[in-house]
Amino acid sequence: MSEATPPDDRMELQEDPGQQDQRQQRRLRGSDGRMLLDQYFRVACIGIAGISVVILAFLLGSIIYQGVPSLSWTLLSGTPEPEPSEAGAWPAIAGTIWVCTICALITLPIGIGTAVLIEEFKPRNRLANRIFSAIQLNISNLAGVPSVVYGILGLTAFVSMFGLFGSLKGGESSLEIGAVYYDQFTNLASDPFLSMGAENARERYFLAPVASPSDPPTVATSGMEMFEYQGDQKVPVKISVFDPFGDLPSDPEELSLAIAADTIPGRISEKSWYYFSLPFGRGVLAGSLTLMLVILPVIIISSQEALRSVPSSLRDGARGLGATPWQVVWNITLPAAAPGILTGSILAMSRAIGETAPILIIAGIVYIRNAPQHLMDSYTVLPLQIYNWTSRPQEEFHAIAAAGIVVLLVILLSFNAIAVILRQRMQNKVR
Amino acid sequence: MTTKTLETKPKRIMNQVAPTPSAENDSTDALDSTQYAIEAEKLNGWYGDFQALHEISLKIPKNQVTAFIGPSGCGKSTLLRWFNRMNDTIFSARASGDLRLGDIDLLAPSTDVVDLRRRVGIVFQKANPFPKSIFENVAFGPRLHMQLNKSELSDLVEWSLRKAAVWKEVKDRLNAPALGLSGGQQQRLCIARAIATGPEVLLMDEPCSALDPASTLAIEDLMDELRDQYTIVIVTHNMQQASRCSDKTAFFFEGRVVEFDTTETIFTKPSSQKTEDYVRGRFG
DSSP one-letter code for B148: -
B212 band by pLDDT with thresholds 50, 70 and 90: confident
Q: Which of A314, A331, A291 is nearest to A110 (CA)?
A: A291
CB B219 within 8 A of CB B207: yes
Choice between A247 and B1, residue whose per-residue pLDDT is larger = A247
Q: What is the pLDDT, as a whole number, of residue A374?
A: 85
Those residues with Cβ within 8 angstroms of residue A205's Cβ, 6 or more apart along the chain or in another chain:
A184, A185, A186, A187, A190, A228, A229
Of the candidates B89, B115, B145, which has its C-beta nearest A319's C-beta?
B89
User: Would an 8 Å CB–CB cutoff place B81 in contact with chain A?
Assistant: no
Of the candidates A124, A318, A431, which has its C-beta nearest B91's C-beta?
A124
Give me the mean pLDDT over the A412-422 stretch: 85
Query: Which DSSP string do the residues of B229-272 spell out, in sequence order?
Result: T-EEEEE-S-HHHHHHH-SEEEEEETTEEEEEEEHHHHHHS-SS
User: Is A322–B197 a contact, with Cβ atoms under 8 angstroms apart?
Assistant: yes
Q: What is the pLDDT, as a whole number, of residue A99?
A: 92
Choice between A172 and A236, residue whose per-residue pLDDT is larger = A236
Q: Rounded to an integer, what distance in angstroms lies between the CA atom of residue A191 and that of residue A187?
A: 7
Beta partners for residue B96, in sequence order: B44
pLDDT at B60 over 70: yes
Task: Kindly report, residue by residue over A145-203, the tens digit of the pLDDT.
Answer: 999 999 999 998 988 888 777 655 545 556 778 888 888 888 877 776 766 666 777 78
Burial B246-274, CB ≥16 within 10 A → b, else e: bbbbbbbbebbbbbbbbbbbbbeebeeeb
Average pLDDT over chain A reads 83
Q: What is the pLDDT, as a whole number, of residue A365?
A: 67
Judging contacts by C-beta atoms under 8 Å, the chain B residues touching residue A331 are 140
In this structure, chain A runs to a length of: 431
Q: Is there a domain that residue B13 lies in?
A: no
3-state secondary structure of B14: helix
pLDDT at A386 over 50: yes
The DSSP element (H or E) to which A112 belongs, if any, is helix A90-120
pLDDT at B26 over 50: no
- Range of A167-181, A212-226, B233-247 with top mean pLDDT: B233-247
The nearest alpha carbon in chain A to B118 belongs to A322
- Return the number of CB contacts < 8 Å for A and B: 71
The nearest alpha carbon in chain B to A331 belongs to B140
Q: Is there a domain that residue B236 lies in?
A: yes
pLDDT at B140 over 90: yes
List Cα–Cα distances, A67 to A75, A76, B266, in angstroms: 11, 13, 84
Judging contacts by C-beta atoms under 8 Å, the chain B residues touching residue A322 are 113-118, 141, 144-145, 197
Choice between A271 and A46, residue whose per-residue pLDDT is larger = A46
Q: What is the pLDDT, as a whole number, of residue B222?
A: 84
Those residues with Cβ within 8 angstroms of residue A87's Cβ, 6 or more apart along the chain or in another chain:
A74, A75, A78, A80, A81, A389, A397, A400
Give me the mean pLDDT over the A326-346 stretch: 91
Choice between B82 and B1, residue whose per-residue pLDDT is larger = B82
Residue B166's domain spans which residues? Answer: 61-85+109-279
User: Is B128–A322 a contact, with Cβ atoms under 8 angstroms apart?
Assistant: no
Q: Is there a domain that residue B169 lies in?
A: yes
> Which amino acid, A186?
T
Q: How crowded is the C-beta side of A399, counted as CA atoms within 13 Å?
A: 13
CA distance A323 to chain B (A): 6
The nearest alpha carbon in chain B to A335 belongs to B131
Task: Kindly report, residue by residue over B145-178, the tens digit of the pLDDT.
Answer: 888 899 999 999 999 998 888 899 998 999 999 9
ipTM: 0.81
pLDDT at B12 over 50: no
The nearest alpha carbon in chain B to A126 belongs to B91
Q: What is the pLDDT, as a whole number, of residue A198?
A: 67
Q: How many domains does chain B have?
A: 1
pLDDT at A6 over 70: no
Q: Is there a domain that residue B213 lies in?
A: yes
Q: What is the pLDDT, as a whole number, of residue B18?
A: 36
A27 band by pLDDT with thresholds 50, 70 and 90: low
Q: What is the pLDDT, as a whole number, of residue A152?
A: 93
Q: Which of A126, A129, A321 is the best residue to mutate to test the B interface, defined by the most B CB atoms within 10 Å of its own CB?
A: A321
Q: Is there a domain that residue B16 lies in?
A: no
CB A291 within 8 A of CB A361: no
Whichever domain contains B189, its CATH number is 3.40.50.300
Torsion of CA A275, A278, A279, A283, to 10 degrees: 10
User: Would an 8 Å CB–CB cutoff place A430 in contact with chain B?
Assistant: yes
Q: Is there a domain that residue B54 lies in?
A: no
The fold of A73-166+280-430 is MetI-like fold (1.10.3720)
Of the candidates B113, B115, B124, which has its C-beta nearest A313's C-beta?
B124
In this structure, chain B runs to a length of: 284
A26 band by pLDDT with thresholds 50, 70 and 90: low
User: Would an 8 Å CB–CB cutoff place A236 in contact with chain B?
Assistant: no
